[in-house]
Amino acid sequence: MDAIEVIRAKRDRGELTTAQIDWVIDAYTRGEVADEQMSALAMAILLNGMNRREIADWTQAMIRSGERMDWSALDRPTADKHSTGGVGDKITLPLAPLVAACGAYVPQLSGRGLGHTGGTLDKLESVPGWRASLSNAEMLDVLRSAGAVVCAAGSGLAPADKKLYALRDVTGTVESIPLIASSIMSKKIAEGTGSLVLDVKVGSGAFMKTVTEARELAETMVALGTDAGVRTVALLTAMDRPLGRAVGNALEVAESVEVLAGGGPADVVELTVRLAREMLEAAGIAAGKDPEKALEDGSAMDAWRRMISAQGGDPDALLPRAAETMTVEVPASGVLTRLDAYAVGLAAWRLGAGRARKEDPVSFGAGIELHAKPGDLVRAGQALMTLHADETSRFERALEALEGGYAVGDATEEQLPLIIDRIT
Ligand code: URA
């Protein structure tokens, strides 16, 4: 077999055989298929698609490129959640300890932010001392002591996806449903979780801009998980406006701690509790503690403190703050009709909360505090948001990103419901 034959087959809208897929993923992982050949194949897949059988074969081949983790030594079921990413999406931070407090183990491998969406590991690294890299044995220790672990995937997990995702990122081939679904699910299946809840975001701040696209991605991923023996369910949720009132690493940790203390913004609380219920149901834990109760009685907060400490972090340490702030005022009195997730995400990224290249550092304190959300009554001159950055020179480009990103009018514009649909 050779790479040109496989590329030509997909270029000409053919269906790749299982043998072709197994060969090309294995040969690419070993360096026998060159990056330029794989990028041509990725582009052919983006343009011509893959059917469900091809996507399942592609996913299985990527899983087989590395190790598969195993949590069978644990005495309770495992449950995980994956979000396709958004602006202000800090849900993993309160959710993982909350679900642990309700009776499941949560082994979560997470990622870093790239572009305008944040990454869970960058957020947690703003807690002084917290460590993202753990060996498999350390992961098991943290799971046993805290009930939840959130850490970086080691180099042995789906190495084919690691190489391919970096290539897609620089060849304009990220936005393909077969490639996104197989990339996410190969890592989640290899991670060894028994059940999985997918939070597929929809709107300007998400990969999927429409409900139709998001539904197709969710259905594809649910089928891949279910066929691989992982109990999988997906929620389609709104990302046309930011989630919560904090966007940026340390600011989002602070908001997550508020939720764990029984407070926090209503949308973050609602989504956290709903996802927790879905995870417990998928894990088959019917008699566990109710998530709302675990937020009220402090047991979720206790699990958070154990989880942070077990990974070297100090849950009582002061979080980093940016040196400079700037207030953006409401331009006119009325109803805040729009607050666009992409504009806010891009502005936070330009303030230093995100990175342009994988190797860049992030500023932990940078980001945006939102003082109003769509539907709120606002008065001209009141604070709409506070921008945080380490250098004042960053404010101008952040303000440019926000231009046209919010509006005040007479009545609220139509916005997506927070939870749009559930796919099983
Ligand atoms: N996240 C992933 O892990 N892979 C993709 O392809 C897109 C988002």
pLDDT digits (tens, 9 = 90+) for 318-334: 999 999 999 999 999 99
> pTM of the full predicted structure?
0.96
Q: Give the HSE-up count for residue 349: Cα atoms under 13 Å, Cβ half-sphere.
A: 25
> Three-state DSSP class for 378?
strand
Q: Does 267 qualify as catalytic in the annotation?
A: no
Q: Residue 101 — left, alpha, or beta (φ > 0 → left; ψ -120 to 50 → alpha)?
A: alpha
Angle between helices 249-260 and 92-101 (to 10 degrees): 30
Helical segments of 228-359, H only? 249-260, 266-282, 291-296, 299-310, 341-348
Q: Does 161 qualify as catalytic in the annotation?
A: yes
Give the end of a domain, one of 280, 310, 340.
Answer: 310
In a domain, 88, yes or no: yes
Q: Are residues 240 and 262 in the same domain?
A: yes
Q: Are residues 126 and 14 in the same domain?
A: no
ipTM exceeds 0.90, yes or no: yes
Q: Are residues 188 and 301 in the same domain?
A: yes
Atom of ligand 1 at shortest range from CA of 184: 3
Q: Are residues 23 and 127 in the same domain?
A: no
Give the end of a domain, one of 310, 335, 350.
Answer: 310
In a domain, 63, yes or no: no
Atom of ligand 1 at shortest range from CA of 187: 3
What is the total count of domains within the chain?
Answer: 3
pLDDT in tens, 231-288: 999 999 999 999 999 999 999 999 999 999 999 999 999 999 999 999 999 999 988 7
Q: How far is the CA of 183 from the centre of ligand 1 (A)?
A: 5
Q: Are residues 367 and 218 in the same domain?
A: no
CATH number at residue 397: 3.90.1170.30
Query: Which amino acid makes up residue 133?
Result: S
Q: Are residues 43 and 89 in the same domain?
A: no
Please tell me the total number of residues recorded for the chain in this structure: 424
Which pLDDT does position 155 carry in this prediction? Answer: 87
| Residue position matching structure tokens 């304190």 | 365
297 Cβ partners below 8 Å, 6+ apart?
none
Q: Are residues 123 and 27 in the same domain?
A: no
In a domain, 67, yes or no: no
- Domain, as residue range, for 17: 3-49
Q: Distance between CA 240 and CA 209 in Å, rounded?
A: 9
Q: Are residues 102 and 222 in the same domain?
A: yes
Q: Are residues 289 and 332 in the same domain?
A: no
Q: Are residues 107 and 255 in the same domain?
A: yes
CATH number at residue 18: 1.20.970.10
Q: Whose CA is nearest to atom 6 of ligand 1?
A: 180
Residue 256: other Cβ atoms inside 10 A: 25
In a domain, 317, yes or no: no
Q: Distance between CA 142 and CA 149 in Å, rounded?
A: 6
Q: Does 57 qualify as catalytic in the annotation?
A: no
Ligand 1: lining residues by beta carbon, under 6 Å: 165, 174, 179-180, 183-184
Q: Does 201 qualify as catalytic in the annotation?
A: no
Q: Are residues 182 and 290 in the same domain?
A: yes
